[in-house]
Amino acid sequence: MSADGRGKASVIALLVTGGFLAAYALQGLFGGSMVHPDGTEKTVSGINVGVIGFGWVFVSSVFTLLRAGRQDVVRKAI
């Protein structure tokens, strides 16, 4: 995949995962909840697994986007 393709894919991933993370952070404002109907919540070390997973994808996408941007700059300089 080209640097341009990786950059576009990273932007899409940032929009999707960023939306989830924003909703999780703002859940108190609109009454959202990550608790299952039976009252349980899937966590690892007290952190919701969705936040861990989407957070990892978000951070990875930021690094990929930055790397794709650097590769474009290097290509244009050559």
pLDDT tens digit string along 56-75? 999 999 999 888 877 665 56
pLDDT over 70 percentage in the chain: 85
Give pLDDT, residue 76. 63
Q: What is the pLDDT of residue 78?
A: 57
Q: Which residues contact 17 (CB under 8 A, 6 or more apart)?
A: 54, 55, 57, 58, 61
Q: What angle do CA 43, 48, 51 make, to 5 degrees?
A: 145
Q: What pLDDT shows up at residue 32?
A: 86
Is the model more confident about 20 or about 71?
20
